[in-house]
Amino acid sequence: MPAWTGTAQSAPIAIDACGTVISTPGIYTVGESLTSTSVTVDCIEIASPGVSLGLASGISLSGPGGAGVTAAGIKVDDKANGVQINFLGAKIQGFGVGIDDEGSGIIISAAPTGGTITGNAAQGILVNKADVVLIDSVDSENNGGAGLELLHATGVTVTGVPIFESNGGYGLWVHSSSHNQFFNVDAFENKSSGIYVGESDTDKLSAKARDGEPSTDNVFLDGGTVQNGGAGIVLDLGDNRNVVADFTGESNTDDDAIDGTPACTHNKWVNNMFGKTNRSCIQ
């Protein structure tokens, strides 16, 4: 994972208000909870490469809440590569998107004990047109859209037993995104499917014209999907060369596993335990 190796600072730079734009490399810290009343201005925008941002344990970044909020809790611009965000024991809540990442070579970590993104109007985390991103030990719950959404993203690794729970959309949505890895992902009680790989924003498999690129060569290893409002895990029509292994799924409203490709010969399902599937060849 790329990391910034610039000159060390004697002390981190403190961020003490929402609306901050970080425009120079360095080490930054948020030592106390911050609250924003703006529906459009990001709480913290990272506009420079080589930034390390730490949120102290137990604090929160809080937005005004509500469906009309478009601001992000933390926004990483597309030119801000090599950024590290650490928020062990912290919370991001009440924004449009909790963390909106367009930068590549990014680490978003709450390891080892976890951090929470919750109650945002749209996605908990959005990775948009970014490459080589590590998301470690982050829980995303009770957001209006997906807990985690990947759009035109490549080389994303999600690990550390993340939980995507009770979101208004999918727990995890992967679309137009390839060569990503997901380890120990648990998706529970989301309004739509727990994990959805495909372009449609519904759970229905369809041969209609697609509005994006196929999602291929993604790996889902050793996770679980339980009691979601749609299916447990879906690999939609046209998305191929994906691998699902050592997964469990049960008590989902739709099938626990769905493969929309013909005869499920385009994806690999290995050593899984599902209660209901749409094809007998899913194993």
Q: What is the pLDDT of residues 19-70, one digit of tens each?
A: 999 999 999 999 999 999 999 999 999 999 999 999 999 999 999 999 999 9
The predicted model scores a pTM of 0.93
At residue 9, the pLDDT reads 53
Comparing CA positions, the residue from 46, 64, 47 lying closest to residue 55 is: 46
Strand order in the sheet with 186-188: 34-35, 60-62, 91-93, 115-118, 138-141, 163-165, 186-188, 224-226, 248-250, 273-274
What is residue 156's three-state secondary structure?
strand
At residue 201, the pLDDT reads 53
Q: Which two tokens stand for residue 19?
A: 């609306």
Give dist(CA 61, CA 90) in Å, integer.
8
pLDDT tier at 4, thresholds 50, 70, 90: very low
Amino acid at 131: D
Evaluate whether 103 touches 93 at the Cβ level (below 8 Å): no
Sketch out the chain's domains with CATH numbers.
Answer: 15-274 (2.160.20.10)
Q: Which two tokens stand for residue 153?
A: 């993203």
Q: Note the pLDDT tens digit of each residue in 156-212.
A: 999 999 999 999 999 999 999 999 999 999 999 999 999 999 986 554 433 333 457
